[in-house]
C-alpha cells in the first residue's frame, strides 16, 4: 500500500479560503524573512508528526489542548497552524471557530482539487457494524496492485481520522479507501460530504452501538447514509446476505448496485475456471463457494465472479468470518478492473492487517507457552461469536486446551446484561476455560460478571465444570491466571476479545513485547 502523505499543494491563502478562516501572518522577521508564499504539503494534528511544509491543526481535546504545541510545531517546520484563538508563536495562524470542522472543510477541498485535476481517481467508502478495518486493509492491498492507494492506518474513521487521511490524497493518488464509522445518526452523512464515494461498500448491520442508536433499524438508517452520499451515478456494493443491507438497493436502484455473498452448497463447474449457469440464483453476484477451514483457521474457497469466472483462494489471514470481508474487497477490486486471478493471489499473500485483529503469535510467559489469538481491538456480540468460533476451530479435534479471555462490550443499551450472558454461554461451548475480565469500575465489572454468569449457567445446564469459569478484575490478574493455566497444559490456545475499556489490547501488547524481548 502506498504510504504517501503529500496532499494537493495549497498556498496559505487557499487553505484559509477552504476553511473560511482569518489568516494572521507572523510579525516581520519572526520566521526568518520574506519569500514566496509557502505551500502546504501535509496536515497533521499531532505535533510529533510535523515536518517542513506541514499545517498543524490545534485540537482542544479532553486531556490535551493542541494550542499548547503550536510553538513546537513552528520550531519543527510547520508553515501554519489552524487554531481557534491566536497563540503566541512565530508562525502563520488561520483562526476558525472550530478546528475540527475546519479540518473537515480542508479535507473536502483537497478531495475536490484531486477530482478537478482530471486524472483517474476513485474514492471507495466502507461502512458496517463489523469488518470495516479488515476489509479496508484487504482492499487497500488489492488496489495497490493497480495504482497508488491511500487508506487509513488502523480505524481512522471518524470526524478527525477520516479528514486527516483524506489530506494524504495527492496528485498521484489513484485510489482512496475511506473507512466510515458512526455512533449517531448523521455522522456518516457528514463524512460523505467531506469525501463523497464513487463506490459505497456496506458490510453488515449488527448491534454494535445499539445503546447509542436504540434499534437495529436506526443502525441500518445510519449505515445507509454512505449510499445516499454517493456521487451522482455512484455504485453501491452490498452484502446480499443481510436484509438490512440489501434493502439499500432501493436508494440507488438496481443498475447502481453490485452484490457479494457466500453459498452453502458445492458448485459444479462446466469448464475449469468458468461457470456459465445463468439460472444460478447467485449469477451476477461475487460469491464464495466450497468454503473450508484448516487447523490454523485459514479459510479456502472458490471465488466466483459475477460473470462466472472462478479462482481458488486461500486467505493468508485467519477467521471464517473474513471470507465475507475478502469477498467485499474482491468485489470492489473486480469492479475497478483487477483480474480475478490477481485478486485471488493477492488475498493469499496478505498476511497482516491492522493490529489486534485475529493476530496469531506464540507467547511464552516462563510458566508456560501458548498460542495467542489476539482479537482485542474491540468487541460486540457478533464479533465476539466470530472470535469464539475461531478459537473453537483452532486445531479442532486435537488435544488443545482453549481459553477465552473476554472483556466487556459497551454501548449495547438496556439489554447489555442479557447480551453479555448470551455471549458467556456461547463461550462455554467453544472454550475449555472462560476468563471474564473487568477493570475495577463497577459498570465494566458488572458486565464481566454477566459474561461469567452466562458461562456458568450454560455449564450447569450441560453438566460441565463451572470451576472452569473465572472472573478477574484487571489484566494483571488475567495475566497471572493465563500463566498458571499455560503451566498446566502442554498445548493451549488463548483468545483475547473485548472492548477497548477492558484493557485486553494492552495485555496483548504486553505479551508481544515480552515475546520480542525473548527473541533478542
Q: How many CB atoms lie within 10 A of CB 300?
A: 16
Residue 401 has which C-alpha cell?
486446551
3-state secondary structure of 462: helix
Whole-angstrom distance, CA of residue 481 vs CA of residue 146: 48
Full 3-state SS string of 340-404 = HHHHHHHHCCCCCCCCCCCEEEEEECCCCEEEEEECCCCCCHHHHHHHHHHHHHCCCCCCCEEEE
Residue 134 labelled as part of a binding site:
yes
Residue 350 labelled as part of a binding site:
no
Residue 128 labelled as part of a binding site:
yes
Apex 365 CA angle, 299 and 515, nearest 5 = 65
Residue 132 labelled as part of a binding site:
yes
51: Cα within 13 Å, side-chain hemisphere = 5
Residue 122 has which C-alpha cell?
476513485
Write down how long the chain is: 520
Q: Are 348 and 136 in contact (CB under 8 A)?
A: no
**What is the residue-wise DSSP string for 404-447?**
EEEE---S-GGGHHHHHHHHHHHHHTT-SEEEEE--S-HHHHHH
Instruction: Residue 92: name the closest of 110, 105, 74 by CA.
Output: 74
Residue 131 labelled as part of a binding site:
yes
Whole-angstrom distance, CA of residue 407 vs CA of residue 412: 14
Whole-angstrom distance, CA of residue 210 vs CA of residue 499: 14
For residues 93-129, b (16+ Cβ closer than 10 Å) or e, as one string?
bbbbeebbebbbbbbbbbbebbeeeeeebbbbbbbbb
Residue 254 labelled as part of a binding site:
no
Which residue is associated with the grid cell 460530504? 193
Inter-CA distances, 202 with 144, 165, 190, 468, Å = 21, 20, 17, 39
Residue 520: alpha-carbon gap to chain centroid? 31
Instruction: Residue 280: name the closest of 269, 290, 271 by CA.
Output: 269
Per the annotation, where are the binding residues?
A: 128-134
Per the annotation, where are the binding residues for ATP?
A: 128-134
Amino acid at each position: 500500500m502506498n504510504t504517501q502523505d503529500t496532499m494537493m499543494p495549497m498556498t496559505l491563502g487557499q487553505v484559509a479560503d477552504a476553511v473560511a478562516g482569518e489568516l494572521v501572518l507572523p510579525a516581520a522577521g519572526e520566521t526568518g524573512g520574506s519569500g514566496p508564499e509557502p505551500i502546504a504539503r501535509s496536515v497533521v494534528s499531532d505535533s510529533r508528526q510535523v515536518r517542513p511544509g506541514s499545517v498543524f491543526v490545534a485540537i482542544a481535546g479532553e486531556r490535551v489542548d493542541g494550542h499548547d504545541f503550536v510553538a513546537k510545531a513552528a520550531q519543527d517546520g510547520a508553515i501554519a497552524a489552524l487554531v481557534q484563538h491566536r497563540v503566541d508563536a512565530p508562525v502563520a495562524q488561520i483562526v476558525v471557530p472550530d478546528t475540527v470542522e475546519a479540518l473537515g472543510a480542508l479535507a473536502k477541498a483537497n478531495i475536490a482539487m484531486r477530482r478537478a485535476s482530471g486524472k483517474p481517481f476513485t474514492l471507495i467508502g466502507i461502512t458496517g457494524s463489523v469488518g470495516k478495518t479488515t476489509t479496508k486493509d484487504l482492499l487497500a492491498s488489492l488496489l495497490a496492485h493497480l495504482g497508488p492507494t491511500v487508506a487509513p492506518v488502523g480505524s481512522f474513521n471518524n470526524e478527525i481520522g477520516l479528514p486527516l487521511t483524506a489530506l494524504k490524497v495527492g496528485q498521484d493518488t489513484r485510489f482512496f479507501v475511506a473507512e466510515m464509522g458512526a455512533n449517531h445518526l448523521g455522522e456518516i452523512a457528514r463524512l460523505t460530504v467531506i469525501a463523497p464515494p464513487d463506490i459505497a461498500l456496506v458490510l453488515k448491520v449488527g448491534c454494535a452501538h445499539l445503546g447509542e442508536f436504540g434499534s437495529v433499524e436506526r443502525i441500518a438508517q445510519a449505515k445507509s447514509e454512505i449510499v445516499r452520499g454517493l456521487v451522482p451515478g455512484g455504485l453501491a456494493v452490498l452484502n446480499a446476505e443481510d436484509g438490512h443491507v440489501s434493502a439499500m438497493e432501493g436508494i440507488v436502484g438496481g443498475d447502481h448496485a453490485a452484490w457479494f455473498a457466500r453459498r452453502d452448497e458445492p458448485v459444479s463447474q462446466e469448464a475449469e475456471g468458468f461457470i456459465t449457469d445463468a439460472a444460478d440464483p447467485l449469477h451476477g453476484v461475487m460469491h464464495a463457494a466450497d468454503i473450508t477451514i484448516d487447523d490454523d483457521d485459514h479459510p479456502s474457497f472458490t471465488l466466483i465472479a459475477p460473470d462466472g469466472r472462478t479462482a481458488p483462494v486461500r486467505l493468508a489471514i485467519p477467521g471464517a468470518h473474513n471470507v465475507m470481508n475478502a469477498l467485499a474487497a474482491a468485489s470492489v477490486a473486480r469492479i475497478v478492473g483487477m483480474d480475478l486471478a490477481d485478486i485471488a493471489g493477492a488475498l493469499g499473500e496478505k498476511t497482516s492487517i491492522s493490529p489486534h485483529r485475529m493476530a496469531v503469535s506464540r507467547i511464552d510467559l516462563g510458566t508456560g507457552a501458548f498460542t495467542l489469538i489476539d482479537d482485542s481491538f474491540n468487541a460486540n456480540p457478533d464479533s465476539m461469536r466470530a472470535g469464539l468460533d475461531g478459537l473453537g476451530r483452532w486445531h479442532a479435534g486435537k488435544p488443545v486446551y482453549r481459553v477465552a479471555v473476554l472483556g466487556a462490550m459497551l454501548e449495547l443499551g438496556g439489554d447489555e446484561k442479557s447480551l453479555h450472558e448470551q455471549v458467556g454461554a456461547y463461550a462455554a461451548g467453544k472454550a475449555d476455560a472462560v476468563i471474564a475480565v473487568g477493570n475495577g469500575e463497577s459498570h465494566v465489572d458488572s458486565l464481566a460478571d454477566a459474561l461469567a454468569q452466562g458461562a456458568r449457567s450454560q455449564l450447569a445446564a450441560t453438566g460441565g465444570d463451572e470451576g472452569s469459569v473465572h472472573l478477574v478484575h484487571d489484566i494483571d490478574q488475567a495475566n497471572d491466571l493465563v500463566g498458571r493455566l499455560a503451566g498446566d497444559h502442554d498445548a493451549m490456545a488463548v483468545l483475547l476479545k473485548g472492548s477497548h475499556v477492558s484493557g485486553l489490547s494492552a495485555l496483548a501488547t504486553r505479551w508481544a513485547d515480552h515475546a520480542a524481548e525473548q527473541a533478542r
